[in-house]
Chains A and B, each alone.
Chain A
Amino acid sequence: MAAKDLPLVPGARPGSMAAAAAMERIREQRPAIDKEKCNLCRECLLYCPDAALAIAGGEVRLELRFCKGCGICARECPARAITMVPEYAGDRGLVGEE
């Protein structure tokens, strides 16, 4: 058998982790973005380790499936437009779903 005929090592499909992402399982807090304060400076986009932030339709959009709630965006935002809010608020239960 020629080398080129050998079967490829089975590989994972690109995009499979993104498709299966469900970080609400581990997230304890989530960013709340104040759209009035946000000046679209894009600083937060490249500081998110999880690619959860993007600009679409003239505003910062949050992909909650990716967000683990680390809070880097809130700490780094120069306009202080992001605050972290808890996912679970005691007897008030879970913060509302989007």
Chain B
Amino acid sequence: MELINSLAAVPDTELFTGGHGGCRGCGAALAARQAMKALGPRTIITIPASCMATIGGSGLTTAWEIPFYHSLFECAPAVASGIRAALDIQGIEDVNVVSWAGDAGTADIGFQSLTGAAERQENIIHVCYDNETYMNTGGQAGSATPYLAATPDTPAGKPTPRKDMLAIMAAHRPAYLATASVAYPLDLIQKFQRAREIEGFRYIHILAPCFKGWGIKEDQTVQLARIAVECGLWQLYEEVDGRRRVTVIPERRLPVREYLRLQGRFQTMDEATIAALQAAVDRRWQEVPS
């Protein structure tokens, strides 16, 4: 397999086309567009209730150029497991089966079928596109919502920290696990390329900002996805058989304050909390070989 190493080598074909129903500057649509460049036309995707399930169309029109199945909220990885079984029994081997869920369809409502599929080591790729809130239903807080983020139902800031989905999924010993960000498209595309070459359960977690939920401007989606990486809060890495490799090491790490202060949802966060978060990020990066 040849990894796509330059923007010029990215295929022009759009498998998630323009004309979709996403908001202006939609991070979810951006993640899908970038991922489909690596997954290619021999892909079947199943998406549970989420923004992503609705913006790609209905039964009447679609932005997908590949088979897309809109599953119930709880069961995208289970549906994907079934699709794989149906392909296997027909002897069809060259198809990527993907369940693509938001942070709710991954960490909360869809979690039981996800942990089941991971435990059975189903030969599928599960993607979590993470905007850190329940944006399709109005931005309520979920378990992936960060500490002190203001949402419609936690107006004073979420009182508890975010669930560590990467640690939970790593504990399932997947064949492949990776984080990605829409601000680093080549890194994202290469991770999908590696994932599709590996057999077994694969998990990719993409940070995909939502301007409405984060309290940013429509044109800041990519900027925030980049600063999340540059400040060290969102680490880009991959794990093959449990061995971690950090794929993007920021040359000079920005203070996490810069990331937080750009967003409307962290306005209630005080300096002491920011300092504690900075210390936690610094500790985490001490373990990374530079």
CB pair B19 A75 closer than 8 Å: no
Contact B63 A49 (CB under 8 A): no
| Interface Cβ pair total, 8 Å cutoff | 112
Interface residues of A in 62-90 (CB under 8 A from B): 63, 65-66, 68-72, 74-76, 84
Given A45-B7, A46-B7, check contact A66 B19 (CB 8 Å). Answer: yes
Asked if B19 and A49 make an inter-chain contact with CB atoms under 8 angstroms apart, the answer reads no
Of the four ranges (under 10, 10 to 19, 20 to 34, 35 or more), the interface on chain B belongs to 35 or more
Smallest CB-CB separation from B10: which chain A residue? A46
By a CB distance below 8 angstroms, the chain B residues around A11 are 59, 62
- Bound complex: CA of A49 vs CA of B62, how far in Å? 16
Q: Least Cβ distance of B240 to chain A in Å?
A: 25
One of A12, A26, A49, A66 near B61 (C-beta < 8 A)? A12
Size band of the A side of the interface?
35 or more
Query: Could you say which residues of chain B place their CB within 8 Å of the CB of A42?
Result: 7-8, 10
Asked if B200 lies at the interface with its beta carbon under 8 angstroms from chain A, I say: no
| List of B residues within 8 angstroms of A26 by Cβ | 24
The interface centre, meaning the residue of B56, B57, B221, B222 with most chain A CB atoms within 10 A of its CB, is B222
Query: 9 closest pairs, A vs B, by CB?
Result: A66-B18, A21-B19, A71-B219, A70-B25, A70-B24, A42-B7, A12-B62, A18-B17, A16-B61
Residues on A lying within 8 angstroms of B by beta carbon are 10-21, 23, 26, 41-43, 45-52, 54, 63, 65-66, 68-72, 74-76, 84
